[in-house]
Amino acid sequence: MRIDPTVGADGREAEQVLIREATVADVEQVGDISTASGRDSWSPRVFVATPGRLVVIAEVNGELVGAAKTHFHKQGDGDVPAGHYLGGVLVAPAHRRRGIGSALTRARLEWIWSHTDRAYYFANEHNTASIQLHEAFGFHPLGAFPEIHGVAADDGQSNLILFAATR
């Protein structure tokens, strides 16, 4: 567990966010955030702990307000390398732009750094908010791909940009 400050709309520290590992008991609430965000719900099996994946939860005043995950790809995918990847980040719409996404990303990177010195992440080329968030953590683009590890953007109409960061 770790506690990070969140940032209010006025730029001042507003409240604290608790970051903890997810459990299967979090499935329904994370599903509610997915629905509110217009995103697909994560499979309940994502919440079962495995050695190659971390799923973390963000809570503010006891309310679950965000979730994020990692993935480990044992094999490369063409020019896309094998390794530890930051996966999806969900933050409840009412809690966005307050540092929660950054706190979830920091926690996942700390976990990845405990396993390796290189992390990967990919995003839809049009997702500037995600790209800017990850640039702040030292991620740099490696290339653009129509598909990465079985994921395509906008039904194949956009590219995915692959990024890497080193510890």
**CB distance 164 to 147 below 8 Å:** no
Entry pTM: 0.88
CA distance 81 to 150: 13
Taking alpha carbons only, the member of 83, 75, 19 closest to residue 52 is: 83
Mean pLDDT of all residues in 32-60: 92
Residue ranges in 7-150 assigned as alpha helix (H): 27-36, 100-113, 128-135
Class of domain 2-166: alpha beta
Task: Delimit the domains of the chain by residue range.
Answer: 2-166
What does the pLDDT look like over 49-101, one tens digit per residue? 888 999 999 999 899 999 999 999 999 999 999 999 999 899 999 999 889 99
